Amino acid sequence: MASEVRVEEGPFGPEVRPGQGAVEQTVLFLHGDPRLAGTPQDALPTARELARSTGYAVVCARYRPRFPQALDDVYAAWEHCRAQGGAVAVAGKRLGAALAAGLLLRLRDEGAAPPSCAVLASPLLDFTLDAPSLLLNAAADRTVDAESLPVRAAAYAGAASRSNPLLSPLHGNLHGLPPIQLHAAGTEVLLDDALSFATRAAHSGVAVDLRVYEDASAQGMRQVEAMAEFLRVRRPSGSPQRGPAFSPSRV
């Protein structure tokens, strides 16, 4: 593990790199904030902690605020990470998690080599926005304005069908995806997106590690450590731990 990291400006956004030693794996990290906006710089605190904990490089990719251009940008950043050599994992938060999952589907459908694994945090995976938790947790979740979410989602989706799997991965065929870790707080409006995706992925034979925290505060304290451990365990050069296809955890 690396104790010191450095931040460089790469062609697709900031790149956080360990201070020394060879890099076993690169993590493509896709930012996402409660407004379905933000910048790659928003991901830097998490990226620094992941790089320190794992010794991996973390690329915080920028993307345009519209679909499908955003997915095209993420795909280009993926190609950049692959060109650096070594394995590549993908991770994302909220809208970034939707793009990470969409990238998994696009790569699989193209017959391309998949990431070693994926991590989805508080993911927005269904742009039809009909999950019960959007209403049930609206008062408890202070991180997302549930009332403005439909307007922001519509602006991002544009003319695309809301059930397009590359936009809403929850509506896709999830067979053949790499191991996936999902994080959600029990009080957040996007809880059901994570739960439903985890269930469907497990039914499709995907190795799933689902982490549900009691609230956003607990998630913030424990999430990065769990991410780092998952990324280390699933690195291709090691021997991944074998377990059940679906591993739910309430933490």
CA angle centred on 18, ends 236 and 177, rounded to 5° = 30
Question: What pLDDT does 226 receive?
Answer: 97
Number of domains into which the chain is organized: 1
* Residue 238: predicted pLDDT: 47
Angstrom distance (rounded) from CA 61 to CA 40: 6
- 130 CB burial (10 A radius; 0-12, 13-18, 19+): exposed
Over the chain (251 residues), the average pLDDT of each successive run of 10 is 82 91 87 90 95 95 97 98 94 97 98 97 97 95 90 96 98 98 97 98 98 95 97 72 51 59
Q: What is the pLDDT of residue 244?
A: 41
Q: End-to-end distance of the chain based on CA atoms, in angstroms?
A: 24
Tally Cβ neighbours within 10 Å of residue 127: 25
Q: How far apart are CA 35 and CA 112, in angstroms?
A: 32
CATH number at residue 212: 3.40.50.1820
Distance CA 189, CA 142 (A): 9
What whole-number distance in Å separates Cα of residue 140 and Cα of residue 207? 30
What is the rounded CA–CA span in Å between residue 75 and residue 104? 10
Q: Half-sphere exposure of residue 81, counting CA atoms within 13 Å on the CB side?
A: 35
Residue pair 167/127 in contact by the 8 Å Cβ criterion: yes
For residue 239, give its domain range: 5-250
Give SS3 for 211: strand
pLDDT at 242: 37
Burial of 227 (0-12, 13-18, 19+ CB in 10 A): buried
